Structure 1
């Protein structure tokens, strides 16, 4: 016969008994004290340290710390973890504000601390939700919640801040094979799932089954890493990236303007044998209309004579009404303009007005006031092929790198990491840029003011890189690429949608099975 009865009292009693047995273990201060240390270990998994396995160890510790404790305690541990990660991983914010933004040491320290404390709220949120929503399938549920919170942080809050996301630490591991298929969020989920499974294995739960699952996950990644999704569509293109190495505190001084222009002109003339020459972000310290006739027009004529295309970054000002754009123009055989669409908060515009403007005025920091370009701009062309333009930190957003595919044959990123001096930021930024090459199956040309200028292959490998803080030109060849990776076709939406379905399904399954138990007797 079949007997149905309400199992809520029994379930609550069992949960209370289990929690009582594990109370001392789960509420140990050990987890609290070690959480920020685990966050620092996460930072060490990224460039320039590149201890990729530490990302998995740090996440395994965090997921284990959330087991068996209250939601509030999990939030605390997540927050402490976030303080360790962001306090160490984005400490370069201090350099940008103190060394180049004009703020004092105290103000810069406080603002950097506030910056890290704000982003630490997201691991805290993930911890709170993981405990609050716990149920059957926790080994999958916790990574799902973690990645959905990461998506919230990476795309939506303050125009997105995807720094220190798991997938970027795994570019040299078998998990990189998932990137051209699932993108950064999908590969990050596999990494988080790996950490979650490791916790269950250490707890002695279904070890054989879970070890088999890990073997399949990583084995599949290794096989996918050998898969080629795109193909060459023409002859190699000879390219040169100019690294002017002009100090950030000298770049915009009026007395340096002429010397800066002459430097880039001289370095360009030394490489007329290249098909494409690229200057870094805002290489020209003046608005376009101020240098158009006297400087750029003759340079464009010289480029045509040498059968070379120039890709130059320059600020553009329009009138009626007045609008400023961070832009890239092409000169030579092909002429066009791209206006940056995804602006940097607190660098190119001020969110949270009027509060942010008031605070920055108090500490005497002056920032840019730019307008975003439209999302439907035509592709620029150079070397005979259209390419995707990414200005500054646009290269940390996967959705921007796939716009214009499959037409674009390569990617171009111009940036200026001189704002962050000799810190870990240029290394982190290059690591994130490499992700875009893997996702799209395209070569990436990256021209920077002070470094890291580089050529990245369609597999994400750095095939050429200029040294930091040196005036130099990096020359090499790339192959124009055609075709589409699965990620380029689908983007992030299917992966995020699947994780939402998993979340709702696991929560719904948990409610059904916890709320009512069916007992069958024969």
Structure 2
């Protein structure tokens, strides 16, 4: 039970609470409890159980908001209310339990600390791919504080990504367990961390032309209304009115700065099949005269008659300039994993798109689109070999209410901007809509539960970062170097009796 509570308390480090310092208490306690028992033979199960309970507490507390999605259809899925979060937490806890046990194979001291940090980081990297991928709430995200302090502490993600920040966080929190030298090492690491972040903010300069003026439209449509076909017309009219209300100011700002202007609606904001409705497309573009494009979230059907969760890019005349289909679908929400003996998602769900793409529209800087939780995957948000000038994230977080979920999702988007060195604009149905520059600094925000529009002038991109060039290979190499502690020889002390004095002891190291 104590390990369960330690894990739950560690979740306080995550957004929106951001109590990062609690990790300096919970992680050393976890390591001490793991090291209190051997890992060979039957006792190995004890270390696995300790790690599992910690992970289960951590992920249950950090993902409690998943239950909110069930409540929107509680009449159908009432039975899943007590199960949703724990069932998500179980496989994630299993992934964490393995490194917790394996790290105990390293000699105690700095080798164990390094091996623990490296193995934990490997488990986080595995979460990018296992169970279709769900790298939500890494410890590295605990530094995503608002304001200048957070801007400084997240800058090293440009070199090592969020998985690398997780490794550095583990080292900084666990070094004090090694005594005075460890405490000094932790302080030095944090000082270097903050210094590197400050230096990056002060020395890196943008390259290329500035981005467009982006009008983010936030309709604040409750999920219950989105599911009700009778309110479709009202929803459409609301988005039209918000677009028209913000387009005049956004257009004037664009003209005064010599930039293009574009507006965007969130994921599935259009209550119909936009690619099949030429009249609706023309009406939408008429609300924003002078706009280079309208980027609209909508469902569409492909040639195989399966639905896609899409972004439809409209030309000024209402024609379709480009399409982007969401590639990373949510299991049990958007598609049914193969092999299940029962049906959960009607019709098998959505079809997946081909992956990240850089879209080029006339008069607009190239951009990449990320729909909903595609933005949570570090190193996998940009088309390889074709770097865009900015990123667009459209999402609908209405499912999760005013919980920690939308805040954690927003901070994931912020971190992708830092990792790639690219400005990012985010349109969310019920919030939080926002925009960030390539340093992850906030350019503007529409808070949760508000209807409105926000125009933001995106700055130029930054030079490609180390992480943008090499992706997950960087934190992977860092983790593997730490895991070398499992193989390096430790210091052993051999004590023997002296031949001349049976009571005297001599030691050799």
Which TM-score applies when normalising by structure 2?
0.85
Q: Tell me, yes or no, if structure 1 residue 225 matches structure 2 residue 197.
A: yes
Deviations 1:424-455 (A, max 9, x none): 11111111111111111222111001011112
Mapped contact 2:369–2:393 kept (Cα < 8 A): yes
Aligned to 2:301: 317
Mapped contact 1:96–1:419 kept (Cα < 8 A): yes
Aligned to 2:161: 183
More helix by share: 1
Mapped contact 1:76–1:124 kept (Cα < 8 A): yes
Q: Tell me, yes or no, if structure 1 residue 254 matches structure 2 residue 232.
A: no
Deviations 1:77-122 (A, max 9, x none): 2122122212211111211112236445443212332222332222
Mapped to 1, the partners of 2:89 and 2:296 lie a distance apart of: 34
Tell me the SS of whatever aligns to 2:36. coil
Q: Tell me, yes or no, if structure 1 residue 509 matches structure 2 residue 491.
A: no
Q: Quote the offset at 1:366 in angstroms.
A: 4.7
User: Which residue of the other structure, out of 259, 277, 282, is the alignment partner of 1:297?
Assistant: 282
Deviations 1:325-357 (A, max 9, x none): 1111222359211111111111111125323x4
Q: Quote the offset at 1:165 in angstroms.
A: 0.7
Aligned to 2:392: 412
Taking a change above 3 Å as real, the CA distance of residues 441 and 371 of structure 1, as seen in their structure-2 partners, is same
Aligned to 2:504: none
Aligned to 2:323: 337
Aligned to 2:309: 326
Tell me the SS of whatever aligns to 1:401. coil
User: Which residue of the other structure, out of 55, 70, 77, is the alignment partner of 2:23?
Assistant: 55
Aligned to 2:217: 242
Mapped to 2, the partners of 1:246 and 1:376 lie a distance apart of: 28
Mapped to 1, the partners of 2:6 and 2:409 lie a distance apart of: 22
Mapped contact 1:167–1:187 kept (Cα < 8 A): yes
Mapped to 2, the partners of 1:411 and 1:252 lie a distance apart of: 28
Q: CA RMSD in A?
A: 2.8
Mapped to 2, the partners of 1:101 and 1:286 lie a distance apart of: 24
Q: Quote the offset at 1:191 in angstroms.
A: 0.4
Aligned to 1:148: 122
Q: Quote the offset at 1:235 in angstroms.
A: 4.3
Q: Tell me, yes or no, if structure 1 residue 495 matches structure 2 residue 475.
A: yes
Taking a change above 3 Å as real, the CA distance of residues 447 and 380 of structure 1, as seen in their structure-2 partners, is farther
Tell me the SS of whatever aligns to 2:247. coil
Which TM-score applies when normalising by structure 1?
0.83
Mapped to 2, the partners of 1:78 and 1:216 lie a distance apart of: 29
Q: Tell me, yes or no, if structure 1 residue 192 matches structure 2 residue 170.
A: yes
Mapped contact 1:417–1:449 kept (Cα < 8 A): yes
Mapped to 1, the partners of 2:450 and 2:348 lie a distance apart of: 26
Mapped contact 2:173–2:186 kept (Cα < 8 A): no
Deviations 1:48-83 (A, max 9, x none): 212121234322222222123133222222122122
Aligned to 2:335: 349
Taking a change above 3 Å as real, the CA distance of residues 45 and 498 of structure 1, as seen in their structure-2 partners, is closer
Q: Which runs of 5+ in 1 are unaligned?
A: 1-32, 202-206
Mapped to 1, the partners of 2:74 and 2:352 lie a distance apart of: 22
Q: Tell me, yes or no, if structure 1 residue 120 matches structure 2 residue 93.
A: yes
Aligned to 1:214: 186
Q: Tell me, yes or no, if structure 1 residue 453 matches structure 2 residue 433.
A: yes
Q: Tell me, yes or no, if structure 1 residue 403 matches structure 2 residue 386.
A: no
Q: How many residues align?
A: 470
Taking a change above 3 Å as real, the CA distance of residues 164 and 106 of structure 1, as seen in their structure-2 partners, is same
Q: Tell me, yes or no, if structure 1 residue 65 matches structure 2 residue 33.
A: yes
Mapped contact 2:140–2:165 kept (Cα < 8 A): yes
Aligned to 2:419: 439
Mapped contact 1:405–1:488 kept (Cα < 8 A): no
Q: Tell me, yes or no, if structure 1 residue 280 matches structure 2 residue 254.
A: no
Mapped to 2, the partners of 1:411 and 1:166 lie a distance apart of: 24
Mapped to 1, the partners of 2:144 and 2:363 lie a distance apart of: 29
Mapped contact 1:310–1:382 kept (Cα < 8 A): no
Mapped to 2, the partners of 1:408 and 1:299 lie a distance apart of: 26
Taking a change above 3 Å as real, the CA distance of residues 408 and 192 of structure 1, as seen in their structure-2 partners, is same
Q: Quote the offset at 1:232 in angstroms.
A: 4.5
Mapped contact 2:358–2:386 kept (Cα < 8 A): no
Taking a change above 3 Å as real, the CA distance of residues 40 and 347 of structure 1, as seen in their structure-2 partners, is same
Q: Quote the offset at 1:230 in angstroms.
A: 5.0
Mapped to 2, the partners of 1:230 and 1:401 lie a distance apart of: 22
Once the two structures are overlaid, the 10-residue window that deviates more, 378-387 or 436-445, is 378-387
Aligned to 2:257: none
Mapped to 1, the partners of 2:451 and 2:64 lie a distance apart of: 26
User: Which residue of the other structure, out of 238, 241, 260, is the alignment partner of 1:263?
Assistant: 238
Mapped to 1, the partners of 2:437 and 2:385 lie a distance apart of: 17
Aligned to 1:463: 443
Q: Which runs of 5+ in 2 are unaligned?
A: 39-43, 251-260, 496-506
